[in-house]
Amino acid sequence: MTTVIETRELVRKFGSGETQVTALNEVSITIRKGEFTAITGPSGSGKTTLLQLIGGLDEPDAGDVFLSGSNIAKMSGSELSDFRRDHIGFIFQSYNLIPVLSAEENIEYIMLLQGISAKIRQSRVREMLALVGLEGMGDRRPANLSGGQQQRVAVARAMASKPDIILADEPTANLDSKTGIALLDVMRQLNQQMDMTFVFSTHDHKIMDRADRLVHLEDGVIHLDESRSV
């Protein structure tokens, strides 16, 4: 299987002196194409920090992060921003949709930055809305969508640019149980049908139950890395 992400001995510390905390301590992990991976652990275990480093949203104090063969830990500025835009899709628990844009425009936005033609953008937006079950709702702004619908737009937006990997930080945290299950089933279906690679940072057992790999962190160290059939 093709390697999408490889981290090598990642270290990330916060604070200084007596108050310094080691969030990650020499963490090495490989994520392959098509995996549906849940990074788990108690609060403060380092799972969100690991996700942010994988996504280039934070810089390690030591170690490397290779995404599709490129070391993003050594990138900075516009190079890193452009690389994130073209290779990584993000899903956040707070949705992070642009409130003045419609669902269609939110999904289209990253493709617009990429310089993709209007014809391809429009076709892909329609495809993504259909895939996440929001056909006919593309003209609605976030305020006119439920929480579950907003998160579906966020999933569609993350996928629209055809990224190498989708990183999801507690994507079900603000959803009720029924809505969360429906959203997870959509993402699992996209993973299986389109071979999309998903990595979650989560406390949610609904995500863990659907993951084909569990990576458990405690005190910044991987304590368990288990592949499983679901």
Q: Which pLDDT tens digit goes with each residue over 84-121?
A: 888 999 998 888 899 999 999 999 998 998 899 999 99
Q: Tell me if 43 sits within 8 A of 177, measured CB to CB.
A: no
Beta-strand (E) ranges in 72-220? 88-92, 165-169, 198-201, 213-218
For residue 52, count other CB atoms closer than 10 A to its CB: 18
d(CA 134, CA 121): 17
pLDDT for 29-81, tens place per residue? Answer: 999 999 999 999 988 889 999 999 999 999 999 999 999 889 998 888 889 99
Whether 229 shows a pLDDT value over 80: the answer reads no
pLDDT of residue 230: 65
Mean pLDDT throughout 149-165? 89
pLDDT band at 176 (very low <50, low <70, confident <90, very high): confident
Q: Tell me if 72 sits within 8 A of 80, measured CB to CB.
A: yes
- Region class of 64: left (phi > 0), else alpha (psi between -120 and 50), else beta: beta
Whether 220 shows a pLDDT value over 90: the answer reads yes
pLDDT of residue 53: 94
DSSP code for 201: E
pLDDT of residue 139: 94
Beta-strand (E) ranges in the chain? 3-14, 21-32, 36-40, 62-67, 70-71, 88-92, 165-169, 198-201, 213-218, 221-227
User: 45 Cβ partners below 8 Å, 6+ apart?
Assistant: 217, 218, 219, 220
Size of the chain, expressed as the number of residues it contains:
230
Q: Tell me if 210 sits within 8 A of 216, measured CB to CB.
A: no
pLDDT band at 187 (very low <50, low <70, confident <90, very high): confident
The number of folded domains in the chain is 1
Domain of residue 148 covers 3-227
* Secondary structure class of 89 (helix, strand, coil): strand
Q: Tell me if 15 sits within 8 A of 45, measured CB to CB.
A: no
The share of the chain scoring above pLDDT 70, in percent, equals 100
* Secondary structure class of 177 (helix, strand, coil): helix
Whether 19 shows a pLDDT value over 70: the answer reads yes
DSSP states of 21-75 as a string?
A: EEEEEEEEEEEETT-EEEEE-STTSSHHHHHHHHTTSS--SEEEEEETTEEGGG-
pTM reported for the whole predicted model: 0.89
d(CA 108, CA 160): 7
d(CA 28, CA 185): 29
The share of the chain scoring above pLDDT 90, in percent, equals 55
Whether 4 shows a pLDDT value over 80: the answer reads yes
Q: For the domain that residue 61 is a member of, what is the CATH number? A: 3.40.50.300
Whether 228 shows a pLDDT value over 90: the answer reads no
